């Protein structure tokens, strides 16, 4: 496809030659949407990049609905996260536009509903609806918080909501228009970035499982691969979701408190006679339980929202859990039908379950890690963590990519230091703007003990 | 695997050589469970056989639950069918035993619950339960009919039912023990027969689509294949379900009134902590709608019962319809949970939909076809129809195979002439015991007009 859109060729990529001691500029561990987004941004900044994943795109990204919904996703006491979500939301139009084929029209013009070719990015609005009186009160209370945060959430009468979405049940108790919450198709998005990277000689997809971090002279020097082999890199970005905590060679004392939160998601096909089923994404509250219905332009819809802290059956080796809960599927169909009775007429194409990486404060683990060696101020060089995105991985991809690039450039935005990955680790200094710029490898102490290759899992 | 069990080698199969004008003894069109069962029986009788199907085992057999349930499946005004179902039920233990590996133990001994290796045949009983008072009355009324037909259906108290099946809901309104209704695993069964046939030089699987019947001198002489080629055979058995009515070259005036009745079926995995989920097959009536829960010995269960006369969305080319209804899945899970709340804890493995070939009287189209040529008494030689088994294909496989063999042997059991395939065809003589024995090809009139190769579809 020629030179991919958005790739800077000023710094031509040299082919990687491990035997010759060559380094990638950046190794990204994890081939989900976040990892791909970071790798693409890294490459656009002129750096060579290796993206390491033995099964790219099959984790949480495979199940994600792709709602870009900072407003709807605002939860009580998560206002810190809101700023990050809003920043990413602002980045999304340009991020999606950069991914468009060069010959296509610019995104964001026209009706606002055309897909940015290849990613399914849509600026169609979201409509929040409640099923009963308690749901109405809950959504009205949430609106108060949303408005206090400066977000636009406008009440609609049920009649007005049904004028806009005629298939909504007349029995809904309330409706709110949320124009700023959009969507993207995560599978298309990932495939589009992967295709751009594949066409670019400065990036390399390593379809192997990362075993751990490689250390050299007190800094991270790349990634060791399961079954042998390694990828050497000046900087390594850990973006493999739940797998991050299982990597060998994590910095001593660094605790990555990731836990799997499972979700079931359904994909359904709308029969021709019912198209378009919806013009807006519907986010519902049914007897206090959330459910969403996301219409795609290909005539399918995604229905989801279940959250299970415990995986069904025997735990999968990866902890990512692909088991779909019959009770979860039942509840999704029940609640979706209550808001949109035509759901019963749809064809069930797929039921999928995946685990998302949650953290104790529901915010990501994103940034560099303070060096704990005695008398060594600053952060561990060569290492960036970008995981724990929980429900927000798709929305937060552009801002995560931007933050990673800033860190690679030696800058750190003080707004984001509160998300530094060491914040749950006793003994690892918390956010400190003065340490946010990593030392360069040249300043490393060669006698610093390397925790690698023991592959010890340092998560007490 | 050496000589397959149950195959008679007295009449060694000569390799088929179309160029040399050679014929199979029998060509079977249709590679579902019925077609496989017939082919196997044909081969056991010493005849060579070709089984023709471009996608064997992917039709209604793929979705079938495999209940062998003449008692539970008794419907009002279907007493004619009952005799056929009971006859097949009597044949099942021997049919299953003959399919066992030679070295294995005989079936039917021991606890009665051991699987006949390779087919999943189980003689575990069925328990019928109702959800509400109306369901209790309906099941009690049905029992009156069942008893009048000499069938054993014993009432159980809810307490006794829950002693036997502790996970049944305490809220069920009634329970009945039906010891004679058993089960088999249709996928295992089909694979087992296919393996036995594959290991036998006297049978040949032709993975091509049958286009129509070949005629010669007024009798059917084999099968023409889509895309060219043919399989010549002395007798042709049409056992391809809904596809039967679409075959070219059907006898003029023969109407095969097959219609697709869709069903959704779920396969779920029982987590280790809930095993065994059930010891019996549960057949429920929930607000008047049937649902069944069939436990397999591999730790899975099958839940089904939906019937839809209309396929979802655009019709599939084959009419077999693979679209799964979201509303059907919802209703199955809802009703199954009402009887067995632990269903919510299961893992959903698969949702499948297939169409079954139904007839106006819900009984199969099974037998030879009367010859309509002027002054030609008797049946068309070389042709047997075996389709329209609707919900009962798995149960009826042994008796269908037996009836086909009897017809091949020149015998006809007068009990089954009521199922002759011409009974819905104006101008095609109905059952006539005197015409039940086909003429041999040697007695054919060479001037009888051949409807083939025009492939006209004779279903007005």
Across the A:B interface, residue pairs with CB atoms under 8 Å apart total 87
Which chain B positions have a beta carbon within 8 Å of A345's beta carbon?
312, 325-327
* Percent share of chain B, pLDDT over 70: 81
**Which residue of chain B has the CA closest to A301?**
B326
CA dihedral A36, A38, A43, A49 (to 10 degrees): -70
| Residue position matching structure tokens 């950069």 | A98
A269 interface with B at CB cutoff 8 Å: yes
Residue of B266, B314, B330 lying closest to A334 (CB–CB): B330
Q: What is the pLDDT of residue B230?
A: 95
How confident is the model over B345-350, as a mean pLDDT? 95
Angle between helix B393-408 and helix B79-98 axes, rounded to 10 deg:
80
Q: Would you say residue B147 has pLDDT above 70? A: yes
Residue of A326, A344, A349 lying closest to B268 (CB–CB): A326
Lowest mean pLDDT among A297-301, B11-15, B450-454: B450-454
Highest mean pLDDT among A77-91, A369-383, B106-120: A77-91
Q: What is the pLDDT of residue B455?
A: 31
Q: Do B323 and A269 touch (CB under 8 A)?
A: yes
- How far apart are the CA of A280 and the nearest CA of chain B, in angstroms? 21
Q: Would you say residue A79 has pLDDT above 90? A: no
Which chain A positions have a beta carbon within 8 Å of B268's beta carbon?
326
Q: What is the pLDDT of residue B74?
A: 87
**Which residue of chain B has the CA closest to A267?**
B326
Calpha distance A365→A373 (Å, rounded): 21
How confident is the model over B15-40, as a mean pLDDT? 86
How confident is the model over B21-49, as a mean pLDDT? 95
* Percent share of chain A, pLDDT over 90: 75
Q: Do A327 and B313 touch (CB under 8 A)?
A: no
Angle between helix B33-44 and helix B186-198 axes, rounded to 10 deg:
40
Residue of A272, A326, A344 lying closest to B326 (CB–CB): A344
- Is residue A275 very low, low, confident or very high in pLDDT (cuts 50, 70, 90)? very high
Which chain B positions have a beta carbon within 8 Å of A313's beta carbon?
269, 271-272, 347
How confident is the model over B430-450, as a mean pLDDT? 36
Q: Do B345 and A314 touch (CB under 8 A)?
A: no
Is-contact B4 B49, C-beta < 8 A? Answer: no
A298 interface with B at CB cutoff 8 Å: no
**Which residue of chain B has the CA closest to A328?**
B344
**Which residue of chain A has the CA closest to B325?**
A347
Structure ipTM: 0.79
Whole-structure pTM value: 0.82
Q: What is the pLDDT of residue B451?
A: 30
Q: What is the pLDDT of residue A374?
A: 65
For CA atoms A141, A144, A150, A155, give the dihedral sign.
Answer: positive
Is-contact A368 A380, C-beta < 8 A? Answer: yes
How confident is the model over A360-365, as a mean pLDDT? 95
CB contacts under 8 A, B 174-203 vs A, are none
Q: What is the pLDDT of residue A209?
A: 97
Residue of B266, B324, B330 lying closest to A347 (CB–CB): B324
Q: Do B344 and A334 touch (CB under 8 A)?
A: no
The rounded mean pLDDT for chain B is 85
Lowest mean pLDDT among A115-119, A221-225, A322-326, B258-262: A115-119
Q: What is the pLDDT of residue A212?
A: 97
Residue B453 preceded by cis peptide, ω within 30: yes
State the best of A266, A330, A335, A344 to mutate against chain B, taking most chain B CBs within 10 Å. A330
B327 interface with A at CB cutoff 8 Å: yes
Which chain A positions have a beta carbon within 8 Å of B333's beta carbon?
326-327, 329-330, 333
A268 interface with B at CB cutoff 8 Å: yes
- Is residue B339 very low, low, confident or very high in pLDDT (cuts 50, 70, 90)? very high
Q: Do B272 and A333 touch (CB under 8 A)?
A: no
Q: What is the pLDDT of residue B311?
A: 55
Q: Do B348 and A329 touch (CB under 8 A)?
A: yes
How confident is the model over A11-38, as a mean pLDDT? 78
Residue of A324, A337, A347 lying closest to B330 (CB–CB): A337
How confident is the model over B436-444, as a mean pLDDT? 35
Q: What is the pLDDT of residue B224?
A: 97
pLDDT in tens, B188-209: 999 999 999 999 999 999 999 9
Q: Do B312 and A266 touch (CB under 8 A)?
A: no
Calpha distance B160→B177 (Å, rounded): 10
CB contacts under 8 A, A 344-403 vs B, are 344-349, 351
B311 interface with A at CB cutoff 8 Å: no
pLDDT in tens, B395-439: 999 999 999 999 999 998 999 999 999 999 976 555 444 443 333
Which chain A positions have a beta carbon within 8 Å of B300's beta carbon?
none
How confident is the model over A349-359, as a mean pLDDT? 94
pLDDT in tens, A292-333: 999 999 999 999 987 766 655 444 333 445 789 999 999 999
How confident is the model over A382-394, as a mean pLDDT? 96
**Which residue of chain B has the CA closest to A269?**
B313
How confident is the model over A379-407, as a mean pLDDT? 97
Residue of A330, A337, A349 lying closest to B333 (CB–CB): A330
A313 interface with B at CB cutoff 8 Å: yes
């Amino acid at each position: 496809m020629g030179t991919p859109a958005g790739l800077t060729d000023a710094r031509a990529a040299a082919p990687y030659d491990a035997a010759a001691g060559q380094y990638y500029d950046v190794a990204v561990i994890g081939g989900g949407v976040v990892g791909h987004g970071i790798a693409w941004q890294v490459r656009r900044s002129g750096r060579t990049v290796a993206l390491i994943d033995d099964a790219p795109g099959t984790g949480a990204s495979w199940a994600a609905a792709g709602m870009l919904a900072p407003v709807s996703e605002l939860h009580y006491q998560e206002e810190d996260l809101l700023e990050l979500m809003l920043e990413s939301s602002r980045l999304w139009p340009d991020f999606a536009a950069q991914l468009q084929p060069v010959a296509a029209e610019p995104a964001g013009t026209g009706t606002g509903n055309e897909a940015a070719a290849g990613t399914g990015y849509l600026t169609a609005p979201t409509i929040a609806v409640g099923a009963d009186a308690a749901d109405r009160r809950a959504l009205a209370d949430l609106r108060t918080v949303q408005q206090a945060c400066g977000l636009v959430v406008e009440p609609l009468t049920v009649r007005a909501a049904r004028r806009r979405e005629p298939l909504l049940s007349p029995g809904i108790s309330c409706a709110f228009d949320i124009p700023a919450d959009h969507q993207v198709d995560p599978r298309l998005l990932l495939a589009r970035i992967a295709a751009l990277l594949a066409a670019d000689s400065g990036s390399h997809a390593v379809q192997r499982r990362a075993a751990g971090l490689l250390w050299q002279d007190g800094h991270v020097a790349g990634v060791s691969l399961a079954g042998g082999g390694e990828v050497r890199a000046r900087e390594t970005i850990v973006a493999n979701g739940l797998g991050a905590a299982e990597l060998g060679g994590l910095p001593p004392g660094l605790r990555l408190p990731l836990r799997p939160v499972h979700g079931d998601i359904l994909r359904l096909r709308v029969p021709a006679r019912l198209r378009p089923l919806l013009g807006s994404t519907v986010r519902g509250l049914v007897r206090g339980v959330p459910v969403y219905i996301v219409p795609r332009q290909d005539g399918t819809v995604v229905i989801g929202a279940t959250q299970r802290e415990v995986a069904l059956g025997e735990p999968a080796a990866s902890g990512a859990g692909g088991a779909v809960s019959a009770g979860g599927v039942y509840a999704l169909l029940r609640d979706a039908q209550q808001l949109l009775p035509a759901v019963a007429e749809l064809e069930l194409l797929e039921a999928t379950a995946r685990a998302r990486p949650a953290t104790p404060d529901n915010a990501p683990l994103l940034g560099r890690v303070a060096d704990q060696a005695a008398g060594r101020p600053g952060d561990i060089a060569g290492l960036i963590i970008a995981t724990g995105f929980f429900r927000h991985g798709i929305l937060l991809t552009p801002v995560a990519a931007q933050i990673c690039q800033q860190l690679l450039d030696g800058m750190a935005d003080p707004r984001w230091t509160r998300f530094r990955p060491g914040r749950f680790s006793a003994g690892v200094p918390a956010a400190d703007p003065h340490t946010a710029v990593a030392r360069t490898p040249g300043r490393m102490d060669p006698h610093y003990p390397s925790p690698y290759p023991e592959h010890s899992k340092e998560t007490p």
